[in-house]
Amino acid sequence: MSAKKPVTPSTLIDPDDAPELTEAWFQRADLHEGEKLLRRGRPPAEVTKTPIKLRLDPDIIDAFKASGRGWQTRMNDALRDWLKLHSAV
């Protein structure tokens, strides 16, 4: 009986031919606690924002974009301020 050939041929020549485990390698590696993968980066927010499609005049978008990074957050804050001033409650 003939043995099955692997689907993808192995590129390793020597089983001991493993990459060097440098500090940079460990910085990029996934971190596990037991079987659980620990996530890196910003933790999930308690309150998330709702994505919408909104059509605005180009001059308004250009003005907010010209103010630099975070323009969408500033636009959200401007709308929130408007609601505070014009709220009927």
pLDDT digits (tens, 9 = 90+) for 15-65: 677 778 889 888 888 888 888 888 778 888 898 889 999 999 999 999 999
DSSP, collapsed to helix, strand or coil, labels residue 87 as: coil
Tell if the pTM clears 0.75, that is, is over it. Answer: no
Residue 74 lies in a domain: yes
Residue 34 lies in a domain: no
**Dihedral over alpha carbons 24, 27, 29, 31 (to 10 degrees):** 160
pLDDT of 6 reads 65
Angle between helices 71-86 and 58-66 (to 10 degrees): 120
Residue 5 lies in a domain: no
Residue 89 lies in a domain: yes
Residue 53 lies in a domain: yes
Question: Could you identify the residue written with the tokens 């959200």?
Answer: 76
Residue 43 lies in a domain: no
DSSP letter string over 4-58?
A: PPPSS----SSTT-PPP--HHHHHHS-EEETTEEEP-SSPPPSSPPPP------H
Q: Which domain holds residue 78?
A: 49-89
Domain count, the chain: 1
Residue 9 lies in a domain: no
Residue 3 has pLDDT above 90, yes or no: no
Name which residue leads in pLDDT, 66 or 20. 66
DSSP, collapsed to helix, strand or coil, labels residue 63 as: helix
How confident is residue 89, by pLDDT bands cut at 50, 70 and 90?
low
pLDDT of 45 reads 87
